[in-house]
Chains A and B, each alone.
Chain A
Amino acid sequence: GNSVTQMEGPVTLSEEAFLTINCTYTATGYPSLFWYVQYPGEGLQLLLKATKADDKGSNKGFEATYRKETTSFHLEKGSVQVSDSAVYFCALSDLPGNTPLAFGKGTRLSVIA
């Protein structure tokens, strides 16, 4: 079946540090991959996505590359800010309309000044 595994948190970083949150997936076909973010007190929102192998999604300085050979979609940011403190979810979809079918359990990131 379809599933997503992402690194357990929490992750605590100093401002301007490099961030990597690992995500690997299991899927029967060729899913679309997503990172969603939940800021404190807000609902989940799409951060970035990639719909086919070798695609790179990017937004707000975050990047993730769809690696079919390693079934991975790791999230990276070169220099985190305090405002990036949130919970990050990796997700996949092989459904019409790209409705996310499976989510990772979320990684809480805290960035300290």
Chain B
Amino acid sequence: KAGVTQTPRYLIKTRGQQVTLSCSPISGHRSVSWYQQTPGQGLQFLFEYFSETQRNKGNFPGRFSGRQFSNSRSEMNVSTLELGDSALYLCASSFGQGNSPLHFGNGTRLTVT
């Protein structure tokens, strides 16, 4: 079965712009989580959506937001981009209950200039 798909793979944006990243989970998965990966901070949890509701949230400013659609696909939006937002953004999906493992996508590489 198809894995977690993230689009686009690469993005280049300018400071002050906004960006939307997309994540299509594995069929049947209802939970989608987002992470930011940078060389300095490593992997940091952004937020998790489960059945169209934000269930958990990390310590990121309000410029980072997301949503989940009825088909479990999720989008993440970053407004007023800063240079420090340059990172690999990873999405992961799971059934979201019990001990179901997360399945990660290959990420979207965002570069802010």
Q: Give the A-B pair count, Cβ closer than 8 A.
A: 69
Produce 1/0 per residue, A69-112, CB < 8 A to B.
Answer: 00000000000000000000101000111111111111000000
A95 to B101, CA, bound (A): 13
For A49, A96, A99, A105, the residue with the greatest tally of chain B CB atoms inside 10 Å of its CB is: A99
Interface size class of A (residues with CB under 8 A): 20 to 34
Check A51 against B99 for contact (C-beta < 8 Å).
yes
Check A99 against B101 for contact (C-beta < 8 Å).
no
CB under 8 Å from chain B, chain A span 33-81:
42-46, 49, 51
Which of B11-19, B48-56, B79-87 makes up part of the contact surface? B48-56
Give chain B residues whose Cβ lies under 8 Å from the Cβ of A98: 98-100
Contact (A96, B45) CB under 8 Å given A43-B106, A44-B90, A46-B101: no
Which chain B residue shows the least CB distance to A1?
A: B59
For A32, A43, A51, the residue with the greatest tally of chain B CB atoms inside 10 Å of its CB is: A43
Check A99 against B31 for contact (C-beta < 8 Å).
yes
Interface residues of A (CB under 8 A from B): 32, 42-46, 49, 51, 89, 91, 95-106
